[in-house]
Amino acid sequence: QLQASGGGLVQPGGSLRLSCAASGFTVDDNAIGWFRQAPGKEREGVLCIHSSGGVSYYADSVKGRFIISRDNAKNTVYLQMNSLKPGDTAVYYCATTSGPFCISQRDLYDVWGQGTQVTVSS
């Protein structure tokens, strides 16, 4: 299971840190990705951390602003979001491929967290 948390309302330019807590498996053995879905849009990949610790970015718009990290002791993956923009408003989900490598195809992620709402607005 995956449990996403940490969303909220933030002003443009602000920061938030999302958490994705895993149970039943270890995050350092599996790729964990963050996805987001804005109203009226398809769910899109944001970025992903491989079991090796390497990172794959799936949304160019977040490069230089979003950072993914992992705390193996807490079995949790984090998404640090900085310089937030109104366009980042979405429900954010974490998911795993149940394997060591990140994959760009959303449909190949087989375990999903419940989603956490991020709203960027003044």
DSSP lists the bridge partners of residue 45 as: 35
When the pLDDT of each residue in the chain is averaged and rounded to a whole number, the result is 95
Please tell me the distance from the alpha carbon of residue 56 to that of residue 90, in angstroms, as a whole number.
Answer: 20
For 28, the 3-state DSSP assignment is helix
Please report the pLDDT score of residue 104 as a whole number. Answer: 87
Q: Look at residue 65 and tell me whether its pLDDT is greater than 90.
A: yes
Mark out the alpha helices in the chain (DSSP H runs): none
Which pLDDT band holds residue 82 (cuts at 50, 70, 90)?
A: very high
Please tell me the distance from the alpha carbon of residue 118 to that of residue 49, in angstroms, as a whole number.
Answer: 21
CA 106 to the chain's CA centroid: 13
Please report the pLDDT score of residue 14 as a whole number. Answer: 98
Contact call for residues 48 and 56 (beta carbons, < 8 A): yes
